[in-house]
Amino acid sequence: MKTQGILQNRYRLESVLGQGGMGTVYLAKDMRLDDRLCVVKELRDDFYRDEDKQRALNFFDREARTLARLKHGNIVAVSDYFSEDGMYFLVMEYVDGENLHNIMQKREGQPFEENQVVSWSIQICEVLSYLHAQMPPVIYRDLKPSNIMINTEGQLKLVDFGIARKVESDDDNTRVVSAGYSPPEQYWGGATVQSDIYSLGATMYFLLTGKDPEPLKSCAPRELNEDVTDSVDEIVAKCMSQDINQRYATASELREELLHQDYEREPDNVKSWFTRNVAYVLFIVAVALVFIGWEPIVNSFKTEPKKAVQNPLSSAKAPDDPTYADPLLGGTAPQKNFAIQITDERSLTDPTARPAESNKKGFKLF
């Protein structure tokens, strides 16, 4: 295992990102492309038996060739493959994010919201549909939370295609399994497109419960998480059926089933504040009622009856009334009384009326 150095006079190793059964993964910089970040995967060389080393090399070579011909936004891209000093290396796209297994650990096993799980599962179905549509179809065979990356923009990426294989490949159907996530047929090397569907159901179970599914058992997430709806619970159980003929036939069929869920699939981080804090909101309302009571709130909704408005013209005295006295003509108007006269150029025929200031309709006080 290298911890530092430069490979092919191009890739400068920066740090170790992780280690697995097949080798070590490094964060590196591509010096030919302005130090762009990339991932360098190194095949381990400490196998005890030559056949084990050859088997690992076959997987490594298969991963490089498989990724080289796959072009999909949810599949990590490969850019280079080489050997140096007897070691084998694979250069891939760097995904700035974390895998779902690590994210769950940081959540201390707290299940994800069902709508988020369904949203991710739809994306995975689209990737599987793409893989299974290749000629011949590509079986992923290792779908599990640790192989699903979520980048900083929320995009999902599948990584680690080391045991992916073509359905019609002539090489051996190697029995490589992940306990809880691999279907029964994969234990004897008989993986099909429906094997990936089983693994997706197992992954959904993990995300909905925070627990790994039991190996070789059809699991129902609702048994551990009562917030899971009946429809999604049934989808997971069907995906994980031990009978391959009882599962969804294709990833597209499963995707359509997920799309027909009767709720909006909001991301977990944009769920409404009120929904997350409904108990707190109700508590504040209750406290407010204790202090101010119901009466002010009820009264705020009451409306005063409308009072009749008297037309001022109905009580005003006309200029020809005997009791009327025009102050401008030396008369005395009654104290605290006034009249409003509507003037209009069409009504200025009374010689006792004063000329209007404007030919527009208006109001004049007397």
Distance between start and end Cα atoms, the chain:
106
Q: Which pLDDT score, from 0 to 100, does residue 221 have?
A: 97
Is pLDDT at 173 greater than 60 in this prediction? Answer: no
- In angstroms, the CA 224 to CA 203 distance is 15
- In angstroms, the CA 190 to CA 139 distance is 11
Secondary structure (DSSP) of 124-142: HHHHHHHHHTSSSPEE---
Judged by DSSP in three states, 360 sits in coil
Q: Just list the catalytic residues.
A: 142
| 84-96: b (≥16 Cβ within 10 Å) or e | eeeebbbbbbbbe
Is pLDDT at 163 greater than 80 in this prediction? Answer: no
Beta bridge partners of 157: 149
Q: Which of 138, 11, 18 is nearest to 72 (CA)?
A: 138
Name which of 25-29, 205-209, 216-220, 262-266 the model is least confident about.
262-266
pLDDT above 90: percentage of residues in the chain: 47
Max CA separation in the chain (angstroms)? 131
Strands in the chain per DSSP E: 6-7, 11-19, 23-30, 36-43, 78-84, 87-93, 97-99, 138-139, 148-151, 156-158, 165-166, 340-343, 362-365
Q: How confident is the model at residue 46 (pLDDT cuts 50, 70, 90)?
A: confident
Q: Which pLDDT score, from 0 to 100, does residue 320 have?
A: 56
Q: Which pLDDT score, from 0 to 100, does residue 269 have?
A: 42
Q: Report the pLDDT averaged over residues 189-215.
A: 95
Residue with structure tokens 């693994």? 199
pLDDT in tens, 87-129: 889 999 999 999 999 999 999 999 999 999 999 999 999 999 9
Angle between helices 114-132 and 230-239 (to 10 degrees): 30
Is pLDDT at 299 greater than 70 in this prediction? Answer: no
